[in-house]
Structure 1
């Protein structure tokens, strides 16, 4: 019935514990140094990429409406009941950072800890759990 690339989705989700760990470590040990700033920047970027990659795979596999933007990917999976509003809000915030992280990295304030650095670890793990729950429910 559905052609969902579960292996791809799970491969991406498997990255989330390390990304969450990096964000948590950056939150706890933040001193504004270059290495911490670059690690934070990369972890935020990867969080946005995993969310959009997984969301896109779900949209394609379960034949949901087409997304018009990266943010719309998150909106669609929230509307379809894949993730809660709370998780969607955090993921949408991460996805909104994507352009700055990918295209405007020369202006990224590396010496500052971004507020999402502390918020995202819990949301990322919730995202992973909720996607797995959705796959179990829909692919029975």
Structure 2
């Protein structure tokens, strides 16, 4: 599948459609099984609190993966993401209730990098509970 967004149709400042991703304890258990990361801070409330966390927290890579979905949904091809990096600034705290947590992600085209290669840099803003959970969240994307 090729990118569905045309390079010439995109300007610096173009906002990607924002998305909201719910996160429950069940999601964390499924992610632990898929990733092999069974650290108890991601499923055991007592252990998480004993090590100084407010509660169970989402895996950093889970948070990172949810955030990039805004870009892959926009561009239409996960393979169009050439680079992606973040800094983890705050954990996504996932309470043991019917709601869990929410990761809110917005993004915008921050720069056109290479006209010939048709690449842009997309900056992402990921928040949970009104706190920024990812810093320096950037992706380099090849457009059509």
- TM-score by length of structure 1 reads 0.27
Task: Kindly indicate which of the two structures has a greater share of residues assigned to strand.
Answer: 2
